[in-house]
Amino acid sequence: MAIATRRIQANGFDFAVDEAGEGDRLALCLHGFPESRFSWRFQLPLLAQLGYRAWAPDLRGYGETEPKPQDVASYRVERLMEDVAALIDASGAREVTLIGHDWGAGLAWTFAANRVRPLKRLVIMNVPHPGVFAEHLRRSPRQMLRSWYMAFFQIPGLPERTMTADGARAIRRAFLGMAVDKSNFTSDVLDRYAADARRPGAMTGMINWYRAAAQSPGKLAGPWPRIETPTLVIWGEADAALGVELLDGTEAHVRDLTVKRLPNVSHWVQQEAPEAVNAILSGWLAAER
């Protein structure tokens, strides 16, 4: 099915949203860093075929969504959850499935745990539950080393200059360097992400997600309410930034949990292995119905 881009006014922002399908069953897809709504290009048509109205917005600070606040406080998780709630309200949907990858998955975990809006289903890709992540960071020097970039992003100004230098070469390398199968990261795809990152104010907005999280470390540890929403976790096992051991302990935070692991697939799971991811999504969502 065709993907169309529309503008959605919500929570004081003008969100750029890619849409496929129609109806009052919403599948809201939240992207990660350093991506955009474009990262869901393989999933939106599938979700539409399954009977959903599928939305993939450029999240606050990213892509074509405006404005792009430059202060760190605007990227606290409370503000980000307000965006998700406002998008759901703007959709008018009677039923919501929330799908997230990377930072979008972290936001989805938090939104579901706090029960900001009722969710029918939750799908998480390659990000651990925040409480599990906090526990592993405390006891795992290896994961601390893998997460070195989070400390680098706290430096004022330097990360922005580094990530956008030389035509946003670092953005391009983030995908090509981590991907196992690089075939879906063609030059035009990398150009799209590089151009989005170089939009005025975008890089600061994108990195401010990390800065805001670092300013509230206690929230990562919890306590976390148990998630009652049926939850699917899809995990590429060849993730260079987040070890597969970060799945351990997730069941303590989720009542109804399904985990699907994909060997030899990197962090960019839904883009690198869309056929496998879509098959898992299709089967799980159909079974849940």
> Catalytic: which of 58, 210, 239, 253?
210
Q: Is 62 a catalytic residue?
A: no
Contact status, residue 127 vs residue 106, Cβ threshold 8 Å: yes
- Which residues are within 8 A (CB) of 114 and not within 5 positions of it... i.e. 6 or more apart? 81, 225
Instruction: Determine the Cα–Cα distance for residues 155 and 160; give it in Å rounded to an integer.
Output: 9
Q: What's the CA gap between 278 and 46, in Å, rounded?
A: 7
Catalytic residue among 83, 102, 196, 239: 102
In the three-class reduction of DSSP (H, G, I as helix; E, B as strand; rest coil), residue 240 is classed as coil
Closest of 62, 66, 11 to residue 39, by C-alpha: 62
- From 239, 289, 244, 286, select the one nearest 267 (Cα to Cα): 239
- The question of whether 149 is a catalytic residue gets the answer no
Q: Quick one: which H or E segment has residue 38? A: none
Range 146-152, long-range pairs (CB < 8 A, 24+ positions)? 146/240, 146/241, 146/242, 146/243, 147/241, 149/241, 150/210, 150/214
Longest dimension (CA), the chain: 48
Q: Rounded to an integer, what distance in angstroms lies between the CA atom of residue 85 and that of residue 59?
A: 13
**Identity of the residue numbered 232:** L
Is 75 marked active-site? no
Q: Which of 101, 129, 136, 267 is catalytic?
A: 267
Q: Which residues are catalytic?
A: 102, 210, 267
